Amino acid sequence: MENISVGQYDLIYNAFSFAFATLAAATIFFWLGRSQVAPQYKTAMTITGLVTFIAAYHYFRIFESWEAAFNVADGTITATGYAFNRAYRYVDWLLTVPLLLVELILVMGLSRSETVSRATRLGLLAALMIVLGYPGEVATTNGARWLWGSLSMIPFLWIVYELFVGLSKSIAAQPEDARGLVSTARYVVVGSWAFYPIVYFAGAVGLDGGAAATVVEVGYTVADITAKAVFGVLIFLIAQRKSVAYFASLRSAGQPAE
């Protein structure tokens, strides 16, 4: 990252600030939204907000680490010698990726035993995927990067299988006006995740310098906002549609609808 330009530095800087603002705002949106869903979906909304809250915290740290790594004055950029901490992303994912799969399971309103078994399996697979990816991210040889990256793909593919084959029966059993959204939510998860291995292996084929850093950092940022905030809005819409009958029953009993 020695050859980064002021323009590239600024773009990444503004992308980090944008992500912080978006994720912090999304957190409050989800937590306020708790009052607009039926009791059985409140935990899903709480966790949806936890995911964006944890991510907002890490983007704040990432922003500060980025600011500390370079000095930009009088239109020129110099490295300060303080390393940009790449580990923040992995620490974030280790917490947020299992949780966002749990959100999806919770909002589906499955039986208690199916909820526990699916949420546990998907959560552990997601954590394993992140843990296996990290040694490759910080590896100094391409061989190690390919090895750990490939190992990390095993739980990744297993998660894809669970979401598209394992869950297909449960999705078919969702109420009609929520079914399409639940299915879309799976595509948003897997679609936004597709970006991560592209960036990961870009490092293994020798892509480097300021342009590469820009693609990596801005790309991860867009993927994180999609997988956490956009995905969370889908979870909220699903929960809200599935709560219509609950609030209608309260109103017909003369109760306040919230």
Contacts of 3 (CB under 8 A, 6+ apart): 209, 210
Residue 83 in contact with a copy of itself, rule: CB under 8 A = yes
Nearer to a copy of itself, 113 or 165 (CB): 113
Q: What is the DSSP letter of 4?
A: -
Torsion sign over Cα 191, 196, 197, 201: positive
Residue 103 found at the interface with a copy of itself (CB under 8 A): no
Residues 7-26 that bind a copy of itself (CB under 8 A): 10, 13-14, 17-18, 20-22, 24-25
Q: How far is the CB of 74 from a copy of itself (least distance, A)?
A: 4
Is residue 97 a contact point for a copy of itself (CB under 8 A)? Answer: no
**Residue 2 sits in the site that holds a copy of itself (CB under 8 A):** no
Residue from the set 92, 103, 217, 224 that interacts with a copy of itself by CB under 8 A: 92
Q: Within 10 A of 169 (CB to CB), how many other CB atoms are there? A: 8
Q: Does 94 bind a copy of itself (CB under 8 A)?
A: yes
CB neighbour list of residue 51: distance below 8 Å, 6 or more residues apart: 96, 99, 100, 103, 228, 232
The two tokens of residue 253 are 């009993």
Binding-residue pattern over the window 41 to 80 for a copy of itself, x denoting contact by CB under 8 A: -xx--xx-xx--xx--xx--x----------xxxx----x
- Exactly one of 4, 12, 33, 107 binds a copy of itself (CB under 8 A); that residue is 33
Dihedral angle over CA of 218, 222, 223, 229, nearest 10 = 150
Instruction: Find the binding residues for a copy of itself in span 148-207 (CB under 8 A).
Output: none
Distances from the Cα of 221 to the Cα of 15, 112, 153, 216, 233, angstroms: 7, 35, 21, 8, 17
**71: closest CA among 60, 62, 61, 82?**
82
Least separation in angstroms between residue 36's CB and a copy of itself is 6
**Binding of residue 115 to a copy of itself (CB under 8 A):** no
Neighbour-count burial of 184, counting CB atoms closer than 10 A to its CB (0-12 exposed, 13-18 middle, 19+ buried): middle
Tell me: does residue 84 bind a copy of itself (CB under 8 A).
no
Residues forming contacts to a copy of itself in the complex (CB under 8 A) are 10, 13-14, 17-18, 20-22, 24-25, 28-29, 31-36, 38-39, 42-43, 46-47, 49-50, 53-54, 57-58, 61, 72-75, 80-83, 85, 87-88, 91-92, 94-95, 247, 250, 253-258
